[in-house]
Structure 1
Amino acid sequence: MRTHLKDHSEPLYILLISAHGLIRGEQLELGLDADTGGQCTYVLELTKALAKQAQVAKVDLLTRLIDDPQVSTDYAQPEERLCDKARIVRVPCGPKRYLRKEHLWPHLDQMVDKCLHYLRQQRRLPDVIHSHYADAGYVGRQLSMLLGIPLIHTGHSLGLPKQMRLLSSGRKRATIEKQFNFERRVAEEEALLRDAAMIVTSTRQEIELQYGMYAHMDGKRFRVIPPGTDTTRFSPLGRRQVVENVENSIARFLTQPKKPMILCICRPELRKNIKGLLAAYGTHPELQKRANLVLVAGSREDIRLLDKAQQAVMNEMLLDIDAYDLWGKVAIPKHWPQEDIPELYRLAAKRRGVFINAAFTEPFGLTLLEAAASGLPTIAPDDGGPRDILANCRNGLLTNTLESDAIAESLLAALSDKKRWRTWASNGVLNIKRHYTWDGHVRKYLKEVRALLHKHRKNLRKQRIALHAGTSTIPLADYAFISDIDNTLLGNREGQTAVVDWLKANAGEAVFGIATGRPLESAIDILRKHRIPVPDVLITSVGSEIHYGARQTPDEGWANHIRHLWRRDDLLRALNTYPGLRLQAPENQREFKISYLVDPSVMPGMDAIKQHLHQLHLHAQVIYSHDEFLDILPVRASKGHAIRYLSYKWGLPLKHFLVAGDSGNDIEMLSGDTMAVVVGNHSHELAALKGQQKIYFAQAHYAHGIMEGMAHYRFGKQPQRQTGKLAEALA
């Protein structure tokens, strides 16, 4: 299937990625753990809202597949249909069990690969990729670079502001780094700011004060698009009566259940500041006299079964309730079904109470929208999204949530003025419909997406290269041709022309790649000099690096893969005084390759070198070629390993690869399930391969030998023009 630049009026295929937490189509288990919260609600509602739009053909929400007896089997289903145009797609990522987001980082390359496999099955690439939070941002950024598809990113919360708030609350840097992995997260957030085509935020303040802390902040790429709320679920009391069992579920905790309610709904997470809220309530008798406190802090069977961070928050909560002697004044239900959450807001409104978000930092705050839509005034942090929400809704107060006294004063002020309470309740309902509906959100979102794609396609038309459209051909190609450069692809002008004709005849259906000992820059220069089209894949430095296309996009997954057991400095020291070895020029040395010139008359044999490294507990590939070059690579790096990695990553079977080479550093890529071609001018190191299955030794030399091998395997569409030595070779 050929890729092409689609007309901008065609209905869109949008791929959303949200890696962590528990996501399913109905009855989200919000608060079940620290990662299943507002972001899960947002991405699910966005998926459903986009699918209702005529200008959207398809929406996929990609998340992690979780096969764990501790959670519902819903999360182990590879696919969940939401409607005709939308579905949740779950792919494996690391171990089967549930992992909190801070532990996902080592496994995200697998999610990239599995997504590529999924897209190959679809036979259509997305028009845009939209990632959510830094972990999915890593996945989306890799896919964007690999496929040439624009990336949209929503941070939801950011590492640097959260880190600073935790430090200012007294936490030690080393402790929070161990728990939250801020170094990796912040580095990825910087990369996203550099590479994403558009950053979606909920508020202007998020751009200025939170993203403004980052080095790569570029205001031109930000778009403020506030999320919506489902007003069919969250609505004021009106003629409705609160469901009796909801009232009873709260009343059983309270001595005076008819008093106003201070309602807090959040996950049992440190940054949600449950401790600060309890201090505000527990140290102010007047507040206790005026209202009850209702804390819905996630869902739990047994606190001892929660992860350590949640256990710590819940244990502190119970100890503080006891220390302040708040029994009979505080309700702390163990479970609260999602379908009953709207009833809880309405109950708080019926009791003339308030909703409070006491978090240290809040990028947005979907619960604030839900409360406002339900006619419940709010108290929220004077930080992040709440500033914009309360400015628009005019239904409550901002407060300094770092100070428990400030929280208490704001709550007392909100509960003391009945006339203002009624005004706030009315304002919230009215202004939610004016500013925060999903229909309004997706209309603005799609307008920005269309503008982004128009700009993207305009740039592609300017930069377009022969045989290449903007998006990658690799995910939709049916076969792949990978060749060494020197003395294989190059060496005969007529043969080179024949290969270029073959590439033109098979454009869009075949991946073209090179596998060479040359470094990337040298490979690009020599191909350009000989007028060879820029390959789709460039395996360079003897298989230690993989890049893609004209933009030379690095495959970070490959770099992460081959880093295993690689100790470059120790290897250099080990071979520093070894006889017969002299380091090549600096331009031939790479992060994952050490290259030597060899004097065969002095250098001991390969077995001796390998034994020397083994005795020093050093692991490396030792590759000898042309009787003059020695390359030291990571154990997982070689041309052959790189080709097998490409086969796995892109879901293209090895038997669909034709590979061509001429020397000893090609041996591994020529062996196995590929269609291998050894050109007629090969070095003696390849003689041992003769007679092996699926290794064709051509009579013709250089690129003529490649074409002879293609004819032998009936590989791809043969070009019409076959003249001179080529026609003679194929006769």
Structure 2
Amino acid sequence: MRERGVYILLISVHGLIRGEAPELGRDPDTGGQVLYVLELARALARNEAVAQVDLLTRLVEDPAVSEDYARPEEALGPHARIIRLPFGPRRYIRKERLWDHLDHLVDRYLVFARDLPRLPDLMHSHYGDAGLVAVRLSTLLDIPFLHTAHSLGRCKRERLLMAGGREAALERTFHFERRIGAEEEVLRHASGVIASTRQETAEQYGLYDRFDPRRAVVIPPGTDLARFSPPVSRRPDPAMAHLVDRFLARPRKPLVLCIGRPVPSKNLLGLVEAFGADPALREAANLLVVAGRHEDIRGMDEEGRRTWEDLLLAFDRHDLFGQVAFPKAHQPGDVPAFYRLAALRRGVYVNPSSQEGFGLTLLEAAATGLPVVTTDSGGPRDIIANCRHGLVVPPHDPAALAAGIREALADPARWSAWARNGPRRVRDAYTWEAHVDRYLKLALRLLRRLRKRARRARAGARPDGLATPFLHARAVLVCDIDDTLTGDPAALAELMAWVAARRGDLAFGVASGRKVESALRILRAWGVPVPDVIIGGVGSEIRYGATAAPDEAWAAHIRQDWRRDDLAQALRDVPGLRLQARRKQGPCKLSYVVRPGRLPPLGDVAEGLHRAGLRANLILSRSRHLDVLPARASKGHAVRYLAFKWGIPLDRFIVAGDSGNDRDMLVGDMLGIVVGNHGPELDDLRGRARVYFARQPSAAGVLEGLRHYDQRLLGLRPGRGPADPGP
């Protein structure tokens, strides 16, 4: 790491990411986004204004994939590296199945970050899943983040519905409601959105209610000109020519090239149908389809298998064998050679996509001196306008696509002009150096604007003597109060004896919806010693020890963007809400009684607040109480803040609760205990490996949960006497 400069954390969660020979096209999750983040990381790290770039992704231990993806760290250059952290199943799984495990990645990064010489100054998330991780980390660490979607759920769902998909079936496969909700949350919290084209901001991000176009900046990706360049010899690479020509009866004809993942949005089938249905085009050219690896399509994922089955049937239906090449496998280094072979044979590159956020392959073709024909599907229109190296045709029109290809091949003089334009204009407008210059201007401007606020939020974050137990604790027990600790005096006394027997190894805390003063009163009434830490007001305050000294850093952290009076006014006319007594309110907390059956869906309430320009965290408990908190406040956020601040791993936190306001401290890397008298809103947590559902209620349920978890794994020494529930 350079001593000076900005430290950037890139987050890209899904797919298979490695620095050497990335397996682009291996599956639907390992495509252009992987290449983008790798090249962005390297390009940023080359700039003297950047101290370090970390690329955070998932560690995968799976015999079906390379051992490379199980390496915790991989260098990308002198000041860039890939950081892989394990979360979710060890095996490789598709991105739609990762959403349940993202909280674990947040927690693993908090542990990792404690050993860093400094925290990142800025994060940049890629796709909705990484965006959700960035929202959580930004909230906990007060680090701003930029976001790039790469693709958006609303656009994909709309496209698949137009193609004849059934909404219920699509939801089962892609979980669009969850994804779109997460994307709305990401767009609401991101400090900036980096888009590749103007069309992307207007027609794709513009579909989202929480997208603010004032925070969007268009910065086109770069192209690696060291890899993609025009042919230097008139003779094609022999190995590449053999790979392609063995399929073709007349290999010297112009070559129509298409490179894309085998997914419906790439519309490879549409290109084959257009080519096969046009006798003049078939006579004039050969077709080369490079669509990932398919040594045995039976072993591909369902989407890839179905795409290739459709392609093979189309080859057969149009009797294209001898006119179409479709290599089963290729290496990453072969991709530039595909473009050069097509350029040497005076062919064209075709992008038939029904929807394209940008179109990196069009830049690669341009840099190689290969003219293009592309559908007007989004980003490509900007590339063609800038590079002047081909034609744009309407999407979803096979006849127009075929006619466009014939037209591009028909005029040798124009073909040569396009071939000259591409490399020159890519050097002018689409280098990674130009991208990084604009990127860093945005980043540094953002950081300057946030510097004062960040300093205020972090002020006072150093530990003091009031929280000395946290300096030496090996584990922390945090319990809700009402109906979790209270309810059974004998069991509570036994639990407190268990805690007392482990003083020194164990810190004890409570997390309550009550204000701190009220929490202390109820604890005294039940004979509970003053905890080491009190999380009060559903996470809106943190205080330490007998003097209840406030954690000022937490208070400053959550106060940002909190407009209590405006929120109270906005919620005044919401049906089914009645303010609780004044003593239950707080500076950073509004509490309401809910009238069953009258309150609108919570999502609608949140959306109304967003339209009013207000930010808040809405927490419903037992369908009877609603707490309105700062966006950064909750019990779970407070627990994670304590873990980071005091350097105690989250898997050494045992948390116990009974209702909805305990939910976000029960998920993630903490060891959760749900007591037997819990509310129904926690039932969907059953089956999670780190959430134990006790049969016993209240403190007896907490003791039961402590028996379930092996205390030796928590670093606790066994207690003595009958109060010890044992491992």
TM-score by length of 2: 0.70
Matching residue within 467, 474, 481 for 2:460? 467
Aligned to 1:193: 187
Q: Which amino acid aligns with 2:39?
A: E
Q: 1:519 to 1:593 in 2, by over 3 A?
A: farther
For 2:331 and 2:715, the matched residues in 1 are separated by 58
> Equivalent pairs: percent with the same residue?
44
Contact map agreement 2:254 2:342 (CA 8 A) in 1: yes
Contact map agreement 1:512 1:537 (CA 8 A) in 2: no
Aligned to 2:375: 381
1:633 aligns with 2:654: no
1:40 aligns with 2:34: yes
Matching residue within 2, 8, 11 for 2:5? 11
1:319 aligns with 2:313: yes
The residue correspondences of 1:47-196 to structure 2 (distance < 5 A) are 47-196=41-190
Contact map agreement 1:512 1:535 (CA 8 A) in 2: no
Q: Which amino acid aligns with 2:33?
A: Q
For 1:13 and 1:196, the matched residues in 2 are separated by 18
Q: 1:666 to 1:285 in 2, by over 3 A?
A: closer
1:707-731 CA-to-partner distances (Å, cap 9, x unmatched) read: xxxxxxxxxxxxxxxxxxxxxxxxx
Contact map agreement 2:241 2:341 (CA 8 A) in 1: yes
Contact map agreement 1:60 1:88 (CA 8 A) in 2: yes
Task: Give 1:9 shift.
Answer: 10
Task: Give 1:188 shift.
Answer: 1.3
1:78-135 CA-to-partner distances (Å, cap 9, x unmatched) read: 1111222111111112111111111211111111111112111224211011110111
Q: Which amino acid aligns with 1:372?
A: A
The residue correspondences of 1:569-588 to structure 2 (distance < 5 A) are 586=593
1:254-292 CA-to-partner distances (Å, cap 9, x unmatched) read: 010000000001111111111111110011101101110
Secondary structure in 2 matching 1:30 = coil
Aligned to 2:550: 533
The residue correspondences of 1:302-341 to structure 2 (distance < 5 A) are 302-341=296-335
Matching residue within 345, 351, 354 for 2:348? 354
Contact map agreement 2:620 2:660 (CA 8 A) in 1: no
Contact map agreement 1:234 1:374 (CA 8 A) in 2: yes
CA-atom RMSD in angstroms: 4.0
Secondary structure in 2 matching 1:253 = coil
For 1:356 and 1:675, the matched residues in 2 are separated by 60
The residue correspondences of 1:285-300 to structure 2 (distance < 5 A) are 285-300=279-294
1:414 aligns with 2:414: no
Q: 1:519 to 1:42 in 2, by over 3 A?
A: closer
Segment drifting more, 107-116 vs 125-134: 107-116
For 1:586 and 1:488, the matched residues in 2 are separated by 19
For 2:261 and 2:3, the matched residues in 1 are separated by 42
Q: 1:317 to 1:465 in 2, by over 3 A?
A: closer
Q: 1:592 to 1:450 in 2, by over 3 A?
A: same
Secondary structure in 2 matching 1:586 = strand
Contact map agreement 2:7 2:120 (CA 8 A) in 1: yes
Aligned to 2:228: 234
For 1:592 and 1:537, the matched residues in 2 are separated by 23
Task: Give 1:675 shift.
Answer: 12
Secondary structure in 2 matching 1:32 = coil
Secondary structure in 1 matching 2:84 = strand
1:225-250 CA-to-partner distances (Å, cap 9, x unmatched) read: 11111111100013464211101111
Q: 1:47 to 1:240 in 2, by over 3 A?
A: farther
For 1:126 and 1:50, the matched residues in 2 are separated by 14
Task: Give 1:642 shift.
Answer: 10
For 1:245 and 1:675, the matched residues in 2 are separated by 59
Secondary structure in 2 matching 1:220 = helix
For 1:104 and 1:130, the matched residues in 2 are separated by 19
For 1:10 and 1:183, the matched residues in 2 are separated by 43
Task: Give 1:327 shift.
Answer: 0.6
Structure having the higher Rg: 1
Matching residue within 496, 511, 515 for 2:535? 515
Secondary structure in 2 matching 1:591 = strand
For 1:424 and 1:400, the matched residues in 2 are separated by 20
Contact map agreement 2:230 2:340 (CA 8 A) in 1: yes
Task: Give 1:595 shift.
Answer: 8.5
Structure 1 unaligned regions, length at least 5: 1-7, 492-498, 500-510, 539-546, 554-583, 597-620, 624-630, 648-662, 677-687, 695-731
In the alignment of these two chains, the number of paired residues is 562
Matching residue within 428, 437, 457 for 2:431? 437
1:591 aligns with 2:620: yes
For 2:458 and 2:346, the matched residues in 1 are separated by 66
Secondary structure in 1 matching 2:51 = strand
For 1:640 and 1:302, the matched residues in 2 are separated by 43
1:439-489 CA-to-partner distances (Å, cap 9, x unmatched) read: 11111111111001001113345x6586259xxxx9xx9568765534886
1:604-663 CA-to-partner distances (Å, cap 9, x unmatched) read: xxxxxxxxxxxxxxxxx9x9xxxxxxx95379869999995599xxxxxxxxxxxxxxx9
Contact map agreement 1:513 1:536 (CA 8 A) in 2: no
1:264 aligns with 2:284: no
1:487-523 CA-to-partner distances (Å, cap 9, x unmatched) read: 88689xxxxxxx9xxxxxxxxxxx995235x5456x6
For 1:638 and 1:165, the matched residues in 2 are separated by 34
1:55-87 CA-to-partner distances (Å, cap 9, x unmatched) read: 111111111111111111111111111222111
For 2:340 and 2:297, the matched residues in 1 are separated by 28
The residue correspondences of 1:680-699 to structure 2 (distance < 5 A) are none
Secondary structure in 2 matching 1:15 = strand
Structure 2 unaligned regions, length at least 5: 474-506, 511-515, 523-529, 563-590, 597-618, 626-653, 674-697
Q: Which amino acid aligns with 1:31?
A: G
Q: Which amino acid aligns with 1:96?
A: R
For 1:478 and 1:223, the matched residues in 2 are separated by 44
Q: Which amino acid aligns with 1:371?
A: A
Contact map agreement 1:49 1:442 (CA 8 A) in 2: yes
1:205 aligns with 2:231: no
For 1:641 and 1:196, the matched residues in 2 are separated by 23
Matching residue within 329, 336, 343 for 2:337? 343
1:685-710 CA-to-partner distances (Å, cap 9, x unmatched) read: xxx9999799xxxxxxxxxxxxxxxx
Q: Which amino acid aligns with 1:440?
A: A
Contact map agreement 2:7 2:122 (CA 8 A) in 1: yes
1:419-440 CA-to-partner distances (Å, cap 9, x unmatched) read: 1111111110100000011111
Secondary structure in 2 matching 1:144 = helix
For 2:357 and 2:286, the matched residues in 1 are separated by 28
Q: 1:664 to 1:27 in 2, by over 3 A?
A: closer
Secondary structure in 2 matching 1:160 = helix
Q: 1:397 to 1:638 in 2, by over 3 A?
A: closer
Contact map agreement 1:246 1:344 (CA 8 A) in 2: yes
